[in-house]
């Protein structure tokens, strides 16, 4: 991505998206689309017009204006073309009249059997004079060019109407609405870029002493978080060492809504209220206790604090600084997504998917390591998970009529299993175990339906080839 694009994302796109994503993650609505639309509308004063004041739809509005101006220019151009065509017609008519005048002047004035016309010399002079006058008018029209004369005034008026198009152009110095701007400019997790304008610095993580029991408790909490459960052992060790213990007295507000966030917190003991200012007054929207994590959204999305957090009793927390989070967690998340994207592109089943769908799928994947001989699912169990083989070899076995287990399928990298229980809402049709140490990626039922539901026909076609 170019520096120009990156700076555009950071200054104009991120301020809106970061706040919106923060609210969505904080509220976790079942259907996020109406929530997002309402969130945008609530920050407006008059519906759609105020959405433009937030910058939402600004590009579309400008495109519509440009299209309208283009249509107007085309209509005016058509008028100019019609005027020119009429000028050509007038010129042709002038030439015809000139020829007719010449013919009339040369033709005999008296027909046979008729009396001579009085004053023939005067008539000839009149005819030739009229022809001469028409000839002069035709020459003047030719010198003036087609469509001139009276048309000049019409065209000059039309040019006045649309000749100043530059005045309607978007000003190069146009500034985004104030709703775009926020204190400071930080890139989001999706827009972080390094280059000449943003050098990546060497990183030395802090290390704070803690007991093995404390490390185990911290690790147990982190393993349940999507931000940390995919970290390598080395990265996890760095994270554990960088957590700093801090004691919080009752009543202390350790996070203030709207402030920039530089640390995230993990609660060792105690309780906290999450508070948002709604209609001018503070309202408790969530309560946190031992083992909960908060403040990570500001680090992940580089956005202001979405809510205030206040201790309701004496508490002990572990805090992790922004720099360590950015270098370890965000970098690992970006690398994890890239690796999953590369893997998903090798799976033939997913070829019909658009890049956006693949990115959604990559974000939903959870990686799991299996030891040789370990069973991942059993025949007859209820199934709520779909699996992809990333590394290793697995085997599916099936018992028929209570008999011994028989091998029915082998799985290698890029193969999948577990889809039948999700498609048909039936128990697992076979038992699947790892023959070698393996890595698999799993997807829950909801994500499977939302993202891979469009591939249902392909799944069913492949399932028809399975051994009964």
- Tens digits of per-residue pLDDT, 208-233? 999 999 999 998 888 877 778 777 78
Confidence of residue 138 (pLDDT cuts 50, 70, 90): low
| Closest of 390, 384, 386, 383 to residue 369, by C-alpha | 390
Determine the Cα–Cα distance for residues 399 and 377; give it in Å rounded to an integer: 14
| Closest of 375, 419, 366, 414 to residue 395, by C-alpha | 375
Q: Is domain 352-463 given the CATH code 1.20.120.1200 in the classification?
A: no
Determine the Cα–Cα distance for residues 304 and 184; give it in Å rounded to an integer: 10
At residue 130, does pLDDT exceed 70? no
| Closest of 295, 299, 325, 297 to residue 235, by C-alpha | 325
> Which residue carries 């029991």 as its tokens?
213
Establish whether domains 212-329 and 352-463 are of one fold. yes
The class that CATH gives domain 212-329 is mainly beta
**For the segment 251-277, what is each residue's pLDDT rounded down to a tens digit?**
999 999 999 989 999 999 999 999 999
At residue 447, does pLDDT exceed 90? no
- Around Cβ 41, how many Cβ atoms within 10 Å? 14
Sheet holding 263-269, edge to edge: 244-248, 315-321, 263-269, 293-294
**For the segment 330-371, what is each residue's pLDDT rounded down to a tens digit?**
777 777 788 889 999 988 888 888 888 888 888 888 888 999
Q: Which of 16-25, 117-126, 247-256 has the highest mean pLDDT?
A: 247-256
What's the pLDDT at 446? 86
What is the average per-residue pLDDT within 158-169?
43
Confidence of residue 134 (pLDDT cuts 50, 70, 90): low
Determine the Cα–Cα distance for residues 297 and 64; give it in Å rounded to an integer: 36
Instruction: Give the burial class of 358: count Cβ atoms within 10 A of its Cβ; 0-12 exposed, 13-18 middle, 19 or more buried.
Output: middle
What is the average per-residue pLDDT within 177-195?
42
Which helix or strand (DSSP H or E) is residue 398 part of?
Answer: strand 394-399
- Around Cβ 249, how many Cβ atoms within 10 Å? 10
Please report which residue ranges of 107-232 form alpha helices under DSSP H: 120-144, 150-162, 212-222
**For the segment 363-390, what is each residue's pLDDT rounded down to a tens digit?**
888 888 999 999 999 999 988 899 999 9
Confidence of residue 244 (pLDDT cuts 50, 70, 90): very high
Q: Percent of the chain at pLDDT above 90? A: 28
| Closest of 459, 414, 463, 408 to residue 433, by C-alpha | 408
Tokens of 462: 């492949």
The lowest-confidence range among 74-83, 234-243, 367-376, 383-392 is: 74-83
Domain positions in the chain: 62-109+118-168, 212-329, 352-463
Helices and strands, counts by H and E, the chain: 16, 16
| Closest of 409, 393, 413 to residue 462, by C-alpha | 409
Confidence of residue 113 (pLDDT cuts 50, 70, 90): very low
What's the pLDDT at 466? 67
pTM of the predicted model as reported, rounded to 2 decimal places: 0.42
> Which residue carries 């076979």 as its tokens?
430
Which DSSP symbol is given to 307? Answer: S
The interaxial angle of helices 32-42 and 14-27, nearest 10 deg, is 120
Supply the mean pLDDT for the chain: 75
Confidence of residue 283 (pLDDT cuts 50, 70, 90): very high
């Amino acid at each position: 991505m170019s520096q120009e694009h990156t700076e555009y994302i950071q200054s104009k796109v991120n301020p809106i998206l970061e706040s919106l994503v923060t609210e969505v993650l904080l509220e976790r609505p079942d259907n996020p689309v109406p929530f997002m639309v309402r969130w945008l509308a609530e920050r407006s004063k008059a519906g759609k017009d105020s959405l433009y004041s937030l910058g939402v739809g600004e590009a579309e509005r400008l495109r519509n204006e440009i299209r309208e101006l283009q249509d107007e220019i085309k209509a005016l151009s058509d008028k100019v073309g019609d005027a020119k065509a009429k000028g050509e017609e007038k010129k042709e008519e002038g030439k015809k009249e000139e020829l007719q005048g010449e013919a009339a002047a040369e033709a005999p004035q008296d027909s046979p059997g008729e009396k001579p016309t009085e004053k023939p010399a005067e008539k000839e002079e009149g005819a030739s004079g009229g022809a001469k006058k028409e000839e002069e008018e035709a020459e003047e029209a030719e010198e003036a060019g087609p469509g001139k004369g009276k048309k000049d005034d019409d065209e000059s008026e039309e040019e006045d109407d649309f000749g100043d198009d530059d005045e309607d152009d978007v000003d190069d110095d146009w500034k985004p609405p104030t709703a775009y701007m926020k204190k400071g400019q930080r890139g989001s997790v999706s827009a972080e870029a390094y280059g000449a304008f943003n050098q990546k610095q060497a990183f030395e993580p802090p290390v704070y002493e803690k007991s093995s029991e404390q490390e185990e408790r911290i690790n147990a909490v982190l393993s349940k978080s999507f931000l940390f459960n995919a970290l390598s052992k080395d990265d996890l060790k760095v994270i554990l060492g960088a957590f700093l213990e801090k004691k919080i007295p009752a009543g202390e507000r350790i996070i203030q809504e709207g402030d920039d966030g530089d640390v995230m917190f993990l609660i060792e003991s105690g309780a906290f209220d999450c508070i948002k200012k709604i209609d001018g007054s503070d309202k408790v929207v969530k309560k946190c206790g031992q083992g909960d994590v908060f403040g990570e959204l500001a680090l992940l999305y580089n956005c202001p604090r979405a809510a205030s957090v206040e201790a309701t009793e004496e508490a002990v927390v572990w805090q992790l600084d922004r720099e360590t989070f950015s270098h370890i967690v965000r970098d690992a998340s970006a690398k994890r997504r890239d690796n999953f994207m590369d893997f998903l592109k090798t799976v033939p089943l997913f070829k019909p998917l658009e890049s956006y769908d693949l990115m959604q799928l990559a974000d939903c994947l959870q990686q799991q390591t299996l030891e040789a001989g370990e069973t991942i699912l059993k025949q007859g169990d209820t199934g709520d998970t779909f699996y992809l083989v990333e590394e290793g070899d697995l085997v599916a076995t099936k018992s028929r009529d209570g008999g011994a287990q028989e091998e029915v399928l082998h799985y290698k990298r890029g193969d999948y299993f577990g889809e039948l229980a999700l498609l048909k809402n039936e128990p697992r049709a076979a038992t699947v175990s790892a023959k070698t140490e393996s890595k698999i990626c799993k997807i829950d039922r909801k994500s499977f339906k939302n993202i891979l539901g469009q591939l249902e026909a392909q799944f069913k076609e492949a399932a028809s080839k399975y051994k009964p």
